[in-house]
Structure 1
Amino acid sequence: MLKQYKFSSIYVTAPFYSDPSFLKYKGESHDVLVVWFVPIFPSEERFIEEHGAEAFDELLYETDDELLDLKRKPLV
């Protein structure tokens, strides 16, 4: 599926549109951390390698694009 839409890999991050209390569930035997699996393009992967994950998280936060839309355009 990644090749079909020209994505190169999957970026895993915490959802930042949610209330922080939603991001972690404390269970009796273990905790669960909610994450997003965002497909990314080669240009976005290079951006992460050059500028770091925090800089890419800022791009994700600032965009109005639907990050899970398989037909979205690259952010960089």
Structure 2
Amino acid sequence: MALDSRNAFVRGDVIGPYGPIFDDSNLEALYVTIPGYFPDSFDAFKVDDKKTIIMAWLIPITSKEAEFIRQTGWEEFENKLEELNPDLIDLKRESII
């Protein structure tokens, strides 16, 4: 999708929902954010003086979470993530909304 549109995904973008991503899971979309489980040095890679690669983490989310982000903004969603601290690599986790 990013290649077709010639636009990179950025923090706060929601891809989907497009139906279940995994079997027996209610995760239907992807949320783009900074790579939270890695050191800050992992956030970007400088190729040369003109090019830098920005790393992104695609977190599987529910359709309710996708709608929440669209209605209230990604900052509020990330605040909820910090507050509730869900296991974001649990592919069968419940919605935090």
TM above 0.5, yes or no, is: yes
2:39 corresponds in structure 1 to 19
The answer for the alignment partner of 1:2 in structure 2 is 21
Q: Distance in 2 between matches of 1:40 and 1:21?
A: 26
Maintained 8 Å contact 1:8/1:41: yes
**8 Å contact kept, 2:46–2:52:** yes
Question: Given the two structures, how large is their TM-score scaled by the length of structure 2?
Answer: 0.64
* 1:1-76 alignment runs, 5 A limit: 2=21, 4=23, 5-28=25-48, 30-76=51-97
- Unaligned runs of at least 5 residues, structure 2: 1-19
* CA distance in structure 2 between the partners assigned to 1:58 and 1:15 by the alignment: 16
> Counterpart of 2:92 in structure 1: which amino acid?
K
Q: Which has the higher contact order (CA 8 A, sep 6+)?
A: 1
Query: What amino acid does structure 1 have at the position aligned with 2:91?
Result: L
Please report the RMSD computed on the Cα atoms of aligned residues, expressed in angstroms: 2.1
- TM-score when normalising by structure 1: 0.78
